């Protein structure tokens, strides 16, 4: 039996009702190396010791390997730009200020599936949030939600790069697929100039933006499990993640605020600099900060203070 055809307008209306900030739909045809640069990124070792990025390479490019018979990829954005930034000697990347986006977006994706099934009971979809092997940024680009900036992040005209991405891979076709946007970065190099570690580069022949994780402060403070961080990596005061390339982006300076950082939460985050292990676990529960242990937090904080 053929899968029901989706109304693009109805899906986007349902996504807005659920609470997503933007929605686009792309045909589930495989990504090509010419638009992606993934093979070159791996070949250059820019994934550092994230061995999991070498796995499921075909699946990352082809949604039909995630869900047999996939016809469409519904891509959703959720903005996270805060009303203000935290201060102190152990700063945290802004995406980690509030609730863990994995949990929030997954919950919202299931709500969206339920909403679509009210109109189309046979609707079949696989929800994807970051940990599923799918190239989130590339599918968002394909779905017309933005372009890949020189900081290698998706830049949405309204949200900037302050947005998290989720997808519904579905066997349903749609009555309209969105058109990718052309890059609007022009000759701007603000993100490249702002990176304290020169971690932003590009593919050799096609100029696709690439991130060298071996140089990236965000990689080292989140993914690197070594007892000591490389002495050559500058953290710019960050103990979790890094926002240097994002803060410099003109689109982010004008981006819409989507998260209110209250006085209470701001103080709580800044007080993590003095938190013991139990307090750290309590405060970081259900946030992206729970990706690291307290010992890593202490390591990062020490390095951030020493290299300020």
Active site residues per annotation: 130
Give yes or no for a contact between 109 and 166, defined as CB atoms under 8 angstroms apart.
Answer: yes
Token output for 201 = 């580069």
**Chain centroid offset of residue 85 CA:** 19
Report the alpha-carbon distance of residue 87 to residue 221 in Å, rounded: 18
Q: How far is CA 118 from CA 8, 109, 294, in A?
A: 15, 14, 45
Report the alpha-carbon distance of residue 112 to residue 202 in Å, rounded: 36
100 Cβ contact partners less than 8 Å away, ≥ 6 residues apart:
286, 287, 288, 290
Report the alpha-carbon distance of residue 103 to residue 54 in Å, rounded: 25
**Nearest C-alpha neighbor of 300 from the set 243, 244, 238:** 238
CB atoms within 10 A of CB 205: 9
Token output for 62 = 């082809």
CB atoms within 10 A of CB 190: 18
Report the alpha-carbon distance of residue 59 to residue 57 in Å, rounded: 5
SS3 78: strand
Quick one: DSSP state of residue 46? T
What H or E segment, with its residue span, contains residue 282? helix 277-284
Give yes or no for a contact between 200 and 193, defined as CB atoms under 8 angstroms apart.
Answer: no
Bridge partners, residue 174, by sequence = 6
**Nearest C-alpha neighbor of 167 from the set 4, 34, 11:** 11
């Amino acid at each position: 039996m053929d899968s029901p055809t989706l109304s693009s307008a109805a899906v986007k209306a349902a996504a807005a009702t659920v609470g997503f900030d933007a929605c686009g739909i792309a045909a589930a045809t495989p990504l090509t190396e010419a638009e992606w640069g993934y093979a070159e990124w791996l070949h250059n070792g820019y994934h550092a010791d994230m061995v999991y990025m070498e796995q499921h390479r075909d699946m990352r490019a082809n949604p039909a390997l995630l869900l047999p018979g996939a016809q469409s990829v519904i891509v959703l954005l959720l903005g996270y730009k805060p009303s203000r930034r935290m201060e102190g000697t152990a700063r945290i990347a802004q995406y980690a200020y509030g609730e863990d986006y994995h949990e929030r977006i997954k919950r919202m994706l299931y709500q969206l599936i339920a909403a679509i099934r009210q109109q189309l009971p046979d609707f079949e979809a696989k929800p994807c949030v970051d940990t599923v092997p799918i190239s989130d940024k590339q599918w968002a680009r394909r779905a017309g939600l933005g372009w890949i900036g020189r900081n290698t992040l998706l830049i949405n005209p309204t949200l900037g790069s302050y947005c998290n991405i989720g997808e519904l891979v579905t066997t349903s076709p749609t009555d309209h697929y969105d058109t990718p946007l052309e890059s609007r970065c022009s000759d701007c190099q603000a993100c490249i100039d702002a990176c304290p570690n020169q971690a932003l580069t590009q593919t050799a022949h096609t100029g696709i933006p690439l991130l060298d994780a071996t140089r990236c402060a965000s990689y080292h403070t989140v993914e690197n499990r070594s007892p000591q961080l490389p002495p050559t990596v500058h953290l710019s005061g960050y103990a979790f993640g890094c926002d240097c390339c994002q803060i410099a982006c003109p689109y982010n300076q004008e981006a819409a605020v989507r998260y209110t950082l209250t006085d209470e939460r701001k103080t709580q985050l800044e007080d993590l600099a003095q938190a013991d292990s139990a307090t750290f676990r309590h405060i970081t529960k259900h946030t992206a900060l729970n990706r690291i242990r307290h010992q890593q937090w202490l390591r990062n904080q020490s390095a951030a203070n020493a290299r300020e």
